[in-house]
Each structure stands twice: as C-alpha cells, then as structure tokens.
A = this chain, B = another copy of it.
Amino acid sequence: MQKLSRLYWPVLVTPKNAVTKPVEALSKSQKLMTELGLLKPASNGTFQIMPIGQRSLDKLCHLVNEAMFRVEGQKMSLPILTSTTLWKKSGRLQGDITEFFMLRDRHDKSFLLSPTHEEAITSMLAATAPISHKQLPLRLYQIGPKFRDELKARFGLMRAKEFLMKDMYSFDRNDLEARETYELVNESYLRLFKQLEVPFEKVEACTGMMGGKLSHEYHYISPAGEDNLLHCQDCNYAFNEEVSQVKTKVTCVKCQSSNVRQVKGMEVAHTFLLGDRYSKVFNATYLDTDGKPKTLIMGCYGIGISRILAASLEVLSNEQELKWPTILAPYDACVIGPKQGSKEAAQGEKIEQQMLHELDILCGKDVLHDDRKYLTIGKRLMEAKRMGYPLIIVIGSKSCEEVPKIEIHINGKPMDLDLNSSLLEIREYLQQKTNLIQL
C-alpha cells in the first residue's frame, strides 16, 4: 500500500487567473500526463517519468515479457552504443542520417545511439560458432531505451527522442519457417493488444528503411493519429495509406473496391519479415542437416512501450480525466477516508481501516491510500477521478448510517454499498483483470 501523502506526484498547479501563453501544440495525453504528474519535460523531446507513470510502464514491460515468453522469446541486452562500421556495412548510413544521434569516443571511434538493432544482432550471430539447425527457430529480444533525433519531437512520449522499446529478432531456416514465426509473433501481438483493451487496427505497411519482404503495423485508432489507415469493407484487407501507389483516390489495393473505411492511427507496434536483408550482408548462417552453412532468414518485431502508455491515455481519456487500460492502471484502488475533525471521522475511520486491511490482502502494492485528511472528501474524490483509478472507495458521511455505506466508484460508476457488498464488487473487478491477464 502506498500513502498518497508520501508519493512524489508533481501535479502542475496553475494559478486560477494565470494567462497561459499558447506553447507548441500539445496532445491531450501529453497535456494530461504533464498536468497530472505522470511526466515532466526534460529537454525538447526527452522526458522524466514520474513514479505514477513508471508504475504503469513497469506493468506494461511485465506484460510484454510474458507475451514474449509465450512465443519462446529469450531476453537479452545489446549495447545502446553501436559502432557505425556495422551500419555502413548494411548500407543504412547512406542517405538522410539526420535522425541518428552519433558520437565519437576518446579514440575517435564513431558510434550510433541505436534506434534499432538489426545490424548488432545479426553480426553477433555471424561472429558466433555456427548455430545448428536444431537450435532454430531462435527468438531473441530486449527491452531498452532507443534514440531518434526527431526534427519535430511532439506529443510527449508519442514521438520522443529517447523512448522505451521492446525489439525482438527471429532467425529461421527458410522462408516458410520464418513466415510461421512471423504469424506466431503477430498472433501474440493480437493477444497483447486485446489485453490492453484499446481499439486497434492491424494493417499492412511499407517496409521502409528496415527493408524486407512484408510488414504489418499495429495502430491505436485516434483522430490524433498521424497515419491514414484504410480498411476494405469488401475483402477485409487493411493497409496503411502509404502502401497504396495511387494517392488521389481511396481504393482497396487488393480488390480495387472503393468501399473503404478510413481512420487515423497511431503506430504502436511494427513487425517485419526481413528475409535475408541483414543475414546476407553479415553472413549470418546456420549449419543445416547436411552439415552445410545456409543463410538465416530473419524477422524483427517492435513494440513502442513508452508510446503505448501515451497512446492508450490519448484514446481512452477525455479532456479532463485519465482513463487507463485495466492492466496498466498505476494503482487498482484509491481509498479516501473522512476529513479530520468531521462528524463522521470516528466511525468512518474504523471502516476505512477495515477496508484498507481487506484491500491490502486483495491488491497489495496496488492500493493507494489518500491519507491527506486535511483535504475535504470532495477535493480528494475529484483528484482521484481525474487520475482515473479504476476503483475509488470513499468512506464518507454514509458510513455513519445504521447500516454503514461505502461510496464505491468502479470505472466511474458510483454505488452506495455496505462493506461486504463493496468487497464483492471489488473482487469481481479484480477477477475481470485476472481474466484479461490470463486471456
């Protein structure tokens, strides 16, 4: 259990009559996250993540780890500093490189702050004693900071210069098996995005600078999105507008139907079937059943961890109040007891303690106790609602009735219930959360 009085929660306090000058266009989520103490801007495009935001991010990392475990993903770490030599070899330092952060060390060697790790992992495998066909498929992943020197960093964690990503790399014996891995990982992404409850669309996308044969993006659907997604209502094919050669009229690139639904999307994940794009360059091979080396066939699979946090809040929240995906709520429950010195204080605090005791067993570290008893219940309830805690439990004046009542808000829906009925409702909510986790 966390006492709110001890939580570092730097909400922005704007004086009532303050004239705020319009700064750069903020997205709704960036505005809410900054105002409500989840996030603070450091430099342009980099952010400090406050404890409440961090809790949510950590939960997402845990969920992603579980998803990767289910597809036999093995966790590892590659350095952030990547020698530019590797990127010269792959050809990805040709053309526009202004989005890369680069530096030279004291020996004048040149490094990238990696935006992605195809070169690093492929050259690593190539330098290892040959992999046997028996070890394949091989799926390696990491979760760590990535870097991109955006021309226009914007919308907070949506498009930051330093961001948290999960990146997985798969290695298979041939195109067929690589395709099987590709389908398997995409299925695990579908499950993950269902667990996260935010409406999403999976679309075919361009392979772009990554290269390869096939690629899909996962988008959260939002007017704030920067991508145009098209979904053919006739053949059910969904694609990013960029896939289409014809930019003037909206038709399905598969069946040419013009019965196409258009939505805006925010990209939160991307999968690539890379083929031998990197393994050929770096000569990454395995020993086949005949004892001869063959080129590994690759895929890569990104999830924008910090971006999912921002994008979820962008889609689910309204202008005033945060709303969280069940699994990512920083705390499941917020408990608000009577104001000190109020007439219900004595009786109410007994029930408050009882409730805290029960919740400690049910939710453990996921309980936040708003112990700022110098504030009115109304003030604290308003703040808890703005923070979007899924369970808000208020012990107020009705706790002094003959049958003491607790005011319990579940996902915004208020009810007056006695202690036992409250606990039943809370248990039901937690069961739904468990169902999502075990989906």
Contact = CB atoms under 8 A, between A and B. Distances in A.
A102 interface: yes
Given A6-B135, A54-B75, 10 more contacts: A13-B129, A43-B81, A43-B109, A43-B111, A46-B79, A49-B76, A54-B74, A58-B75, A80-B162, A105-B161
B48 A78 contact: yes
A50 interface: yes
Interface in A317-367: 365
Contact of A106 (B48, B79, B98, B129): B98
B74 A7 contact: yes
- How many copies, total? 2
Interface string A178-217: 0000000000000000000000000000000000000000
A153 to B, nearest CB: 10
Contact of A128 (B6, B40, B111, B138): B40
A42 B7 contact: no
A134 interface: yes
Given A103-B101, A103-B102, A135-B6, A42 B80 contact: no
Given A8-B138, A135-B8, A48 B77 contact: yes
Contacts of A75: 51, 54-55, 58
Interface in A112-153: 113, 120, 124, 127-129, 134-135, 138, 140, 144-145, 147, 149, 151
Contacts of A293: none
Contact of A124 (B5, B40, B81): B40
Interface in A16-59: 40, 42-43, 46-51, 53-55, 57-58
**Prevailing SS type, chain A contact patch:** mixed
A79 B138 contact: no
Q: Which of A49, A74, A162 has the most CB of B within 10 A?
A: A74
Interface string A53-86: 1110110000000000100101111111111000
Contacts of A225: none
Contacts of A404: none
A60 to B, nearest CB: 13
A11 B129 CA distance: 8
8 contacts: A40-B124, A40-B128, A42-B120, A48-B120, A55-B75, A58-B75, A80-B145, A103-B113
A134 B79 contact: no
Given A13-B129, A128-B10, A129-B10, A140 B51 contact: yes
A281 interface: no
9 closest residue pairs by CB, A with B: A46-B79, A103-B103, A51-B74, A49-B77, A10-B128, A13-B129, A54-B76, A54-B75, A42-B79
